[in-house]
Amino acid sequence: RHCVVMDLVDGYPLQNINEVGDPADLYNKLMNLLLKFANHGVIHGDFNEFNIMIDDDSNPIIIDFPQMVSTAHPDAQYFFDRDVTCIRDFFRRRFNYESELAPSFSDVMRVDALDAEVAASGETKQMEKE
CA within 13 Å, CB half, 91: 25
Cα separation values, 119 from 1, 70, 73, 81, 123, Å: 14, 8, 11, 22, 6
> Would residue 46 show up in a list of annotated catalytic residues for this protein?
yes
Q: Which of 7, 22, 25, 46 is catalytic?
A: 46
Give the helix ranges, DSSP H, for the chain: 23-39, 76-95, 114-118, 125-129
Q: If DSSP codes are grouped into helix, strand and coil, which group holds residue 121?
A: strand
Active site residues: 46
